[in-house]
């Protein structure tokens, strides 16, 4: 496996639900003799590496030029539905130490590792190493991090220190063995390893935040194609964006119908750039664009709706709409609603229905949040989003046939630069709008050069 690995990121917290399950493997590393009976060490091929087990720790020191692996081969049928939990107590910086699971021959399988900020999963196949999942989590501590990965079919759920980080899908390896892996020239200390025959599911159908803390709640994710200032103060979230920069703050939700609501205040900056509520969709494929639907208003009292791939719709300024924008007390209450099973959205500002039949997105909504376009300073307060009729959480039922699915990764590497709350560069992602998309209704539109175009009557198909 190569030593040069690029890192990207994202994070999220959810409530996990598990069912009773049987432990199929465990080692608390209290005895060298007991552990040696459970694990195999490739000492013959890596003579400069050592394993020391004592007091609840397994220390692997690898002074060789090869990868060290302390592996456990399952006897009989390999588990294809499981939850693996293990602890990385400490590791050298960028040591690339972690767990190899669904292991086949040599180092083939999935490798999960931890950096200072990110959880990363690689698919290892021969000499090919592919980054298939990477997540940033504020739950990662400087030491003693518990990592959990759960699999059913082609779905994998990843957790760190009790917080749900994200889901990815891959069907290359259905089952296999496990092993503690440490790259050449590195050392790591591992804690207890446990494998059960359960699948750990995760779901959230509602979320609210009145921003009364000193920082964003851990459930939020922040992304931007600039370096915005994001600050929680006095019960409000303040976002200040730079020229050509847009900021999104969102939380993952599993909803069918929903109501999203937030109080917004235009503090200063552009009167033509929008701010408001964003719906984020599931990527259709790895490396694709992240689809979104934006419902916003502007300082000059217009409202603005755009769906990825569809022309941007902007209404003329109309005092009858009741939008305050940058006038009066500058505070507006925005709401976006969708009834379960409905194919339209409803957009309200200050209780006034502006649109009640905007076409629902042709993609699954997986997150809801707020956005702020460039050259703006806007505050957000009293955010809430909920499915009024959530479906039951699906828990694991034994199955011998793995599901087949395509890779689905959130916010891929394709253009925009993402930052964390400290302004540090995280990774790149992007969205695009298709050229020449057909307007959905009469009104004002923006072309690709940002100029307004009025459509007075829709052409017939």
- Give the pLDDT score at 129: 93
Distances (CA, A) of 68 to 63, 123, 130, 363: 9, 18, 20, 44
- For residues 228-238, one letter each, b for 16 or more C-beta atoms within 10 angstroms of the residue's C-beta and e for the rest, the string is bebbbeeebbb
- Give the pLDDT score at 122: 95
- Give the pLDDT score at 313: 58
- Give the pLDDT score at 251: 87
Domains of the chain from N-terminus onward: 15-202 (2.60.120.560), 206-389+404-452 (2.60.120.560)
- Give the pLDDT score at 295: 96
- Give the pLDDT score at 448: 35
User: If you search the block for the tokens 């409905």, which residue do you land on?
Assistant: 342
- Give the pLDDT score at 318: 64
- Give the pLDDT score at 138: 67
Question: Element (H or E) spanning 47, and its range?
Answer: none
- Give the pLDDT score at 135: 78
Q: Retrieve residue 48's tokens.
A: 């400069």
Cross-strand pairs, 392: none
Q: What are the per-10-residue average pLDDT scores of the chain (461 residues)?
A: 32 40 94 96 82 96 91 94 96 82 94 87 92 80 93 92 84 96 93 96 87 86 85 96 91 90 97 95 67 94 86 61 89 96 94 92 91 96 89 34 29 34 35 36 39 40 38
The DSSP code for 98 is E
């Amino acid at each position: 496996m190569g030593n040069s690995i690029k890192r990207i990121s994202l994070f999220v917290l959810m409530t996990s639900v598990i069912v009773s399950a049987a432990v199929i493997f465990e080692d608390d590393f209290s005895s060298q003799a007991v552990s040696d009976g459970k694990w195999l060490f490739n000492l013959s091929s890596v003579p400069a590496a050592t394993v020391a087990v004592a007091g609840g720790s397994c220390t692997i020191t690898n002074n060789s030029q090869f990868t060290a692996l302390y592996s456990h081969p399952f006897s009989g049928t390999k588990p294809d539905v499981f939850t693996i939990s293990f602890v990385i107590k400490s590791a050298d910086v960028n040591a690339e130490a972690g767990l190899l699971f669904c292991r086949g021959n040599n180092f083939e399988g999935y490798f999960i590792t931890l950096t200072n900020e990110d959880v990363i999963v690689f698919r290892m196949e021969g000499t090919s190493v592919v980054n298939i999942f990477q997540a940033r989590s504020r739950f990662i501590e400087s030491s003693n991090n518990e990592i959990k990965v759960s699999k059913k079919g082609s779905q994998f759920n990843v957790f760190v220190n009790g917080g749900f980080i994200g889901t990815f899908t891959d069907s290359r390896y259905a089952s296999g063995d496990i092993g503690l892996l440490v790259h050449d020239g590195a050392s790591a200390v591992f804690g207890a390893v446990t494998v059960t025959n359960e699948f750990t599911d995760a779901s959230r159908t509602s979320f609210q935040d009145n921003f009364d803390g000193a920082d964003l709640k851990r459930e939020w994710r922040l992304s931007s194609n600039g370096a915005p200032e994001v600050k929680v103060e006095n019960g409000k979230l303040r976002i200040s964006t730079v020229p050509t920069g847009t900021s999104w703050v969102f939380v993952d939700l599993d909803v069918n119908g929903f109501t999203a609501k937030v109080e917004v205040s235009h503090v200063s900056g552009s009167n033509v750039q929008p701010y408001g509520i964003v719906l984020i969709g599931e990527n259709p494929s790895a490396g694709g664009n992240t689809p979104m639907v934006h419902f916003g208003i502007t300082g000059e009292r217009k409202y603005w709706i755009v769906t990825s791939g569809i022309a941007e719709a902007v209404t003329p300024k109309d005092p009858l709409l009741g939008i305050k924008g940058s006038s009066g007390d500058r505070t507006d209450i925005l709401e976006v609603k969708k009834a379960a099973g409905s194919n339209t959205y409803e957009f309200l500002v200050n209780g006034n229905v502006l649109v009640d039949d905007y076409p629902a997105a042709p993609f699954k909504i997986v997150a809801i949040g707020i956005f702020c376009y460039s050259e703006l300073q806007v505050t957000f307060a009293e955010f809430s989003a909920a499915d009024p009729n959530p479906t039951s959480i699906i828990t694991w039922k034994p199955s011998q046939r793995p599901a087949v699915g395509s890779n689905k990764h959130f916010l891929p590497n394709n253009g925009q630069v993402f930052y964390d709350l400290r302004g540090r560069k995280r990774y790149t992602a992007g969205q695009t709008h298709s050229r020449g998309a057909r307007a959905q209704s009469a009104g004002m539109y923006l072309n690709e050069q940002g100029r307004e175009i009025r459509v007075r009557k829709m052409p017939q198909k």
